[in-house]
């Protein structure tokens, strides 16, 4: 009986030690889950910044396309070589959807939209006349600042242009 009891205890110890080395403890599993959660959170933050940067690049590209379309409209359509004025007063900016049908015509199709659909490009023409010689279009960038385009071309700005001299 004593031999048998010794055999059973030895077998029990062998199985018990094998069980310990084979699996993970609850603490080890919790630590792994927390580390994975932290890494996933960091990845989402980085990806969010990359996406915002990409949307800003799209806005800048759209502004250059609008500028090119307005230049073509001015050269080929408008008598006197001016830009189409569509504001009743310079203090009232016009949303981009009106800009597209009046100031650009058919020279840019499809009309660019903001990547997030949160706002339009803003258009102003000075003086408020049929054939303005100066204009300003701008869009807010998610990374801070603005991209503005005037008859002189596109440029990045820290603040929104509130008057024609403030536009590039």
Residue 56 CB coordination number (10 Å): 20
In 3D space, the residue among 58, 54, 61 whose CA is nearest the CA of residue 149 turns out to be 61
Statement: residue 157 has pLDDT above 50:
yes
* Tokens encoding 117: 């659909």
Question: For the residues of 65-97, what is the DSSP string, one character each?
Answer: HHHHHHHHHHHHTSTTS-EEP--SSTTS-EEHH
pLDDT at 147: 83
Its domain, for residue 67, covers 26-166
pLDDT at 97: 46
Does residue 2 lie in a domain region?
no
Total count of domains within the chain: 1
Does residue 19 lie in a domain region?
no
Question: CA-CA distance, 33 to 42, in Å (whole number)?
Answer: 14
Please, are residues 82 and 134 in contact by the beta-carbon 8 Å criterion? no
Torsions phi, psi for 22 (to 5 deg): -85, -35
pLDDT at 36: 95
Q: What is the pLDDT of residues 23-64, one digit of tens each?
A: 778 899 999 999 999 999 888 888 878 888 888 888 888 888
pLDDT at 90: 40
Place of tokens 């242009």: 161
The HSE-up count of residue 142 (CA atoms within 13 Å, CB side) is 18
Question: CA-CA distance, 42 to 22, in Å (whole number)?
Answer: 32
Question: For the residues of 119-150, what is the DSSP string, one character each?
Answer: ---EEEEESSSSEESEEEEEEE-TTSSEEEEE
pLDDT at 135: 74
Does residue 17 lie in a domain region?
no
Does residue 34 lie in a domain region?
yes
Question: CA-CA distance, 62 to 126, in Å (whole number)?
Answer: 22
């Amino acid at each position: 009986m004593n031999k048998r009891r010794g055999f059973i205890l030895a077998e029990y110890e062998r199985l018990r030690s094998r069980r310990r080395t084979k699996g993970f403890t609850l603490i080890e599993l919790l630590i792994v889950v927390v580390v994975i959660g932290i890494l996933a959170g960091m990845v989402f933050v980085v990806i969010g910044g990359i996406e915002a940067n990409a949307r800003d690049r799209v806005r800048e590209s759209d502004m250059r396309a609008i500028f090119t379309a307005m230049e073509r409209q001015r050269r080929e359509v408008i008598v006197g070589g001016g830009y189409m004025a569509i504001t009743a007063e310079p203090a009232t900016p016009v949303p981009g959807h009106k800009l597209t049908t009046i100031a650009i015509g058919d020279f840019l199709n499809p009309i660019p939209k903001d990547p997030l659909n949160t706002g339009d490009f803003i258009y102003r023409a000075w003086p408020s006349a049929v054939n303005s010689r100066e204009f300003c279009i701008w869009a807010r960038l998610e990374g801070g600042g603005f991209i503005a385009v005037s008859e002189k071309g596109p440029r990045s700005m820290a603040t929104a242009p509130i008057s024609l001299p403030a536009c590039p």
